[in-house]
Structure 1
Amino acid sequence: MTKPRIGVIGVGSMGSMVLWQLAKAGVEAVGFEQFGIGHDRSAAGGESRMFRTAYMEGADYVPLLKASRKLWEELGEETGLELLTLCGGLMIGPRDHPRIANVIRSVREFAIDHEILEAEETMRRYPQHRLGEGEIAVLDREAGFMRPELAVFAAAERAETLGAVIHRHTEVEAIEETAAGVRVSAGGRSHEFDRVIVTAGPWTARFFPALEENLVPRKIVMTWYLSSEPARFASESFPVFGRVGGPIDIFGVPALEGTMTKIGSVDTFGDVPDPGALHRDVELAELRHINGEVERCMNGLRPDPARISVHMDGYTTDEHAVVGAVPGSERLFVMGGYSGHGFKLAPVMGEIGKDLVLTGSTAHGIDHLAPGRYLS
């Protein structure tokens, strides 16, 4: 039986993992990437990403996260690279906040190794944080951080080692279903495939115009802060964290290179009308909210960022991704709109993408991500 030929549009967070999984399955897989591998023009830049198992966005994600962790470790073993570091994570906020309720439901329903800490105990054990009355912290011992650029590079390189082909610096101009399959026009050439999966991040709606109202590219700004005692913010004593219930929601990652601690805002910085023309300048006034939260909630960090980087992601109306077959087609599939919280899921999404294009279904629970809610 002839093996199917699969096209993957976009070799970033998701596409690199799909290619890795397809190549492991012995399938002929071809990826197209308009930039280089591990670039910083989309959602995978910025040195680090949080890995959380106790999930603020809902317990539906926990089985996917547990499966993703195993695959992160598998990719690390195959490549010899440290891609995931488990240093624990604190989910902080008012006890009655809906997202803290989601975290507590997650840890109890799925037996996640955890501890629930009152405000005073949290500040005693983690004096880098300030908590107010009514706030608690859930310590998720199965949390940590990932190296996003390195991970994309590792998955793509591993896929190529296993037989995949990647066309770098090759923009896809069009995708067209034909009687025999799917035609991809890229870099001035035509390529024929049995099936195609679009993993184009902020560019996803370019290929599916019906998504434009419900999947919008947005600007993300990441910020790093200095301390006179940087050792206090090393991973050995400063777990990753997410914090809700203040003027803005924030997150943090330890000082990975020894001097600066990444504290970021969950809020986005406006829509990006053209993802090919991302405006990378940041006005000082745009940072007043995140600087204010660093000053209000953190001990030992100067509330003035020493480093700033700008990225973007595709955000859906309900902030859950669009994953599955395009309605009305058995040859086209889409994975996009991860809304700023998808990277930790990338390896399991690679497995899901492989399942979908080869069999049309997957054993992983993705009903809440069905494209039909936006595409008809």
Structure 2
Amino acid sequence: MDAQVAVIGVGSIGSMALWQLARQGVDAIGFERYAPGHDQAAAGGESRIFRTAYLEGPGYVPLLLRARELWRELEEESGQSLLTLNGGLMIGHAESESMRNVLESAARFDLPHQVLDAEQMAARYPQHRMLPGEIAFFDEWAGVLRPEFAVLAAARAARTRGARLVTGHSVTGIEPFSDGVRVHTAVRTYTVEQAVLTAGPWTGRFAPELADQVTPKKLVMTWYPALDVDAYRPDRFPIFIRESGDVHIFGIPTLDGGSVKVAPHASYGDLADADDLDRNVPPGDLKSINRAVAELLPGLLPTPVRISSYMDAYTSDGHGLVGALPGVDNVWLLGAFSGHGFKLATAFGQVAADLVTDGKTNLPIEQLDPARFIG
């Protein structure tokens, strides 16, 4: 055997899995076609949102609370600042399902928060133009993550603890057998006892039985110049997620001192294969996000000064895949988080290590079982 465990893909989730396995003394090898911290898949784009009161439902809150603890542990171990908790605004119609989910999350888990009406928003956060019937939920435990630095920090921490890393060439396939798993690369074949499949947009390639439920999608992030940049610094402009009618957008305070990241929740289209990503963005594709910025964020100029393309894998029901690869007892799948996985990455790293060492975890992942799509 070359190692106890192989981690296939050392990106958002794989880097954290490798770190957690190394922390538990497991002999692990990570395989990454680029290098940790790259911007070719789901972890690029300078920033990601962290939040605890969850639009997608309260079932995620225990995972988010554990993730928050682990982000701090990774910061301590790496010596890097990765998570800034400057608060977060969830803006939408008071009667919408997403706002009900947020309020239920806060009530069930006693999350520190405030509910703001339009008048209070105008006084505290005039950067936002509120629409009739809208409220804002302020999540005190929300903020900004630095994804590229976080992935690199976790990978380096894993190596410091003894994990190995193979970079620069692709895994061409995995082959489970009765006593282990063969990991085929362009250079050689490795044999391990178990594998953790964290391939992000390439998830369907390594889990063909789930390929019809998993789609890689193109994501585009845009940064807009601020008329008064001081109004958009982290201490004055919390992260936000907004659902105003058909407009579903998110935003992050300025990190570069001049522009503000605002982008849609929606993807910019499906990809037949994750290797097919075209990072070019035709100007016409930006009309809807530019229009939303002009309507809802009047302090920003509605023409972006920076545009970047990335991708992620989405399941047909919008929830990730976490658990045993169907029909296999020594390959664990964590992927297709459908655009909202990075904030949870540290917790899923722990989940991966728990599954490898114990075959189960105390964190709630039942709703993410890949088997829900089988049979």
Scaled by the length of structure 2, what TM-score is found? 0.98
Q: Secondary structure at the match of 2:212?
A: coil
Q: Secondary structure at the match of 1:194?
A: strand
**Counterpart in the other structure of 1:62:** 61
**Counterpart in the other structure of 2:150:** 151
Cα distance in 1, alignment partners of residues 203 and 374 from structure 2: 13
CA deviation profile, 1:47-87 (whole Å, cap 9, x unmatched) = 00000111101100001000000000000000110000000
Q: Which stretches in structure 2 are left out of the alignment for 5+ residues? A: none
Superposition pairs of residues 147-186 of structure 1, within 5 angstroms: 147-186=146-185
Superposition pairs of residues 19-58 of structure 1, within 5 angstroms: 19-58=18-57
Cα distance in 2, alignment partners of residues 224 and 4 from structure 1: 43
User: Is 1:338 paired with 2:337?
Assistant: yes
Deviation at residue 186 of structure 1 after TM alignment: 1.2
1:93 aligned partner, one-letter code: G
Superposition pairs of residues 206-355 of structure 1, within 5 angstroms: 206-355=205-354
Deviation at residue 274 of structure 1 after TM alignment: 1.8
Deviation at residue 120 of structure 1 after TM alignment: 1.4
Cα distance in 1, alignment partners of residues 106 and 173 from structure 2: 44
Q: Is the Cα contact below 8 Å between 1:3 and 1:28 reproduced in 2?
A: no
Deviation at residue 284 of structure 1 after TM alignment: 1.0
Q: Is the Cα contact below 8 Å between 2:2 and 2:191 reproduced in 1?
A: no
Moved >6 Å (runs of 4+): none
CA deviation profile, 1:182-215 (whole Å, cap 9, x unmatched) = 1111132010111001000000110111211111
**What's the C-alpha RMSD, in Å, of the aligned pairs?**
1.2
Q: Is the Cα contact below 8 Å between 2:131 and 2:244 reproduced in 1?
A: no
**Counterpart in the other structure of 1:197:** 196
Deviation at residue 169 of structure 1 after TM alignment: 1.1
**Counterpart in the other structure of 1:77:** 76
Q: Secondary structure at the match of 1:249?
A: strand
Cα distance in 1, alignment partners of residues 227 and 180 from structure 2: 60
Q: Is the Cα contact below 8 Å between 1:326 and 1:375 reproduced in 2?
A: no
Cα distance in 2, alignment partners of residues 100 and 75 from structure 1: 31
CA deviation profile, 1:317-361 (whole Å, cap 9, x unmatched) = 010000001222210110111000000000000000000111110
CA deviation profile, 1:203-228 (whole Å, cap 9, x unmatched) = 01101112111110000000000012
Q: Is the Cα contact below 8 Å between 1:43 and 1:201 reproduced in 2?
A: yes
Deviation at residue 273 of structure 1 after TM alignment: 1.0
Q: Which stretches in structure 1 are left out of the alignment for 5+ residues? A: none
Deviation at residue 7 of structure 1 after TM alignment: 0.5
Q: How many residues align?
A: 375
Larger displacement relative to structure 2 (279-288 or 342-351): 279-288
Cα distance in 2, alignment partners of residues 364 and 135 from structure 1: 34
**Counterpart in the other structure of 1:114:** 113
Larger displacement relative to structure 2 (209-218 or 82-91): 209-218
Cα distance in 1, alignment partners of residues 276 and 2 from structure 2: 39
Cα distance in 2, alignment partners of residues 24 and 80 from structure 1: 16
Larger displacement relative to structure 2 (324-333 or 51-60): 324-333
Deviation at residue 164 of structure 1 after TM alignment: 0.2
**Counterpart in the other structure of 2:373:** 374
1:149 aligned partner, one-letter code: E
Q: Is the Cα contact below 8 Å between 1:127 and 1:299 reproduced in 2?
A: no
1:357 aligned partner, one-letter code: V
Cα distance in 2, alignment partners of residues 142 and 297 from structure 1: 24
Task: Flag the 1:3–1:276 CA change in 2: closer, same or farther, 3 A.
Answer: closer
Cα distance in 2, alignment partners of residues 28 and 76 from structure 1: 23
Q: Is the Cα contact below 8 Å between 2:2 and 2:190 reproduced in 1?
A: no
Cα distance in 1, alignment partners of residues 115 and 227 from structure 2: 30
Percentage identity across aligned positions?
Answer: 47
Deviation at residue 178 of structure 1 after TM alignment: 1.8
Deviation at residue 166 of structure 1 after TM alignment: 0.6
Q: Is the Cα contact below 8 Å between 1:97 and 1:245 reproduced in 2?
A: no
1:21 aligned partner, one-letter code: Q
Deviation at residue 245 of structure 1 after TM alignment: 2.8
Larger displacement relative to structure 2 (245-254 or 2-11): 2-11
CA deviation profile, 1:220-247 (whole Å, cap 9, x unmatched) = 0000000121111000100000001332
Cα distance in 2, alignment partners of residues 211 and 123 from structure 1: 47
1:208 aligned partner, one-letter code: A
Q: Is the Cα contact below 8 Å between 2:222 and 2:307 reproduced in 1?
A: yes
Cα distance in 2, alignment partners of residues 327 and 284 from structure 1: 42
Larger displacement relative to structure 2 (340-349 or 266-275): 266-275
Cα distance in 2, alignment partners of residues 247 and 326 from structure 1: 36
**Counterpart in the other structure of 1:101:** 100
Cα distance in 1, alignment partners of residues 119 and 284 from structure 2: 33
Cα distance in 1, alignment partners of residues 195 and 91 from structure 2: 41
